[in-house]
Structure 1
Amino acid sequence: MTDLGMLNYFLGISVTRTTSGMFLSQKKYATEIIERAYMITCKPCRTPVESGAKLTAHGPPVLDPTLYRSLAGALQYLTFTRPDITYAVQRICLFMHDPREQHFQALKRIIRYVQGTTDLGLQLFASSPSSLVAYSDADWAGCPITRRSTSGYCVFLGNNMLSWSSKR
């Protein structure tokens, strides 16, 4: 392998070095998702998901399920540097096999949130790790259809988030 110098851009992730560490961002990729969804001029929203909203398997089917699956998969890749949308993306991916209009509306809301927050990313601090801290939460039997639970966690080493997940 050859030395290509300082890391700036790798697999769609932009790396910006600062005095406090590194900032990982997928701003360009997020903008491409917004363009692919034809939502460049839409109004951004403040949250990726409506509070208390439950998605069900009922309602009219999506006209273009391929577009739904493509956008949902693209949002999954965006969660590498955007843990703030992990839960919302996990919710819409549950219905990739048979997407309905309400699922597509939830996906569009995530994209509207991403449009207003394209500058967000993952900050990695240059510091010696002092402690390992983990947080977790669960929504027991929260799915009204299957009564399955949703759980999530995040793990920090010092000030840096190392790992996170949200799954059913």
Structure 2
Amino acid sequence: MTNCNPCNTPVDTSSKIRADIGEPVKDPTFYRSLVGTLQYLTITRPDITYAVQQICLFMHDPREQHFNALKRILRYLKCTITQFLHFNRSNISSLTAYTEADWERCPNTRRSTSGYCVFLGDNLISWSSKRQHTISRSNAEAEYRGVANIVAEAAWLMCCVFGAF
């Protein structure tokens, strides 16, 4: 992938990855190895967390479209090779949290995906992106589930960082 064309986003937003479409990859072990490497990279590159989570869903039976999604992440990394997570010295003045939910995004299960990130001062200290356990009936319900996740995380961090509660 050294000479590949870089791309600006880690995920193709116009198409959804499905579990049952396409030919199986020729070397599933190689696919799993690359996915594992990308999982490790998410520690300092939270911008690829969602994309990596999506390709992890198919590690048991990877298909060509899943491998193409993996290659897109690699192309994105080539474009953004100088970007990574910086931890800077800062005065700990606040804990700030953001959350988002994507209603019925998964075409296979119809479950929503929710995610959050938490900043301590200027530094990102916690983040998550995962499929919700239950099917939401509306976008508002999916958002409420996401808010519940971030409130639990923020409460735990408040106890750890500030000794609150």
For normalisation by structure 2, the TM-score amounts to 0.76
Does residue 46 (structure 1) correspond to residue 8 (structure 2)? The answer is yes
Q: Percent identity at matched positions?
A: 68
* Post-superposition offset of 1:82: 0.2
Counterpart of 1:92 (choices 13, 36, 55) is 55
Counterpart of 2:66 (choices 103, 114, 125) is 103
Equivalences, count: 130
What runs of 5+ residues in structure 1 fail to find an aligned partner? 1-38
Does residue 70 (structure 1) correspond to residue 25 (structure 2)? The answer is no
Does residue 148 (structure 1) correspond to residue 131 (structure 2)? The answer is no
Does residue 59 (structure 1) correspond to residue 22 (structure 2)? The answer is yes
Aligned-residue CA RMSD (Å):
1.0
Runs of 4+ displaced beyond 6 Å:
none
Asked which structure has the greater RCO (Cα within 8 Å, sep 6+), the reply is: 1
For normalisation by structure 1, the TM-score amounts to 0.74
* Post-superposition offset of 1:129: 1.1
Work out the CA distance in 2 between the residues paired with 1:144 and 1:104. Answer: 18
Counterpart of 2:98 (choices 111, 117, 135) is 135
- Between 137-146 and 62-71, the greater mean CA deviation after superposition: 137-146
Work out the CA distance in 1 between the residues paired with 2:35 and 2:28. Answer: 10
Larger helix proportion of the pair: 2
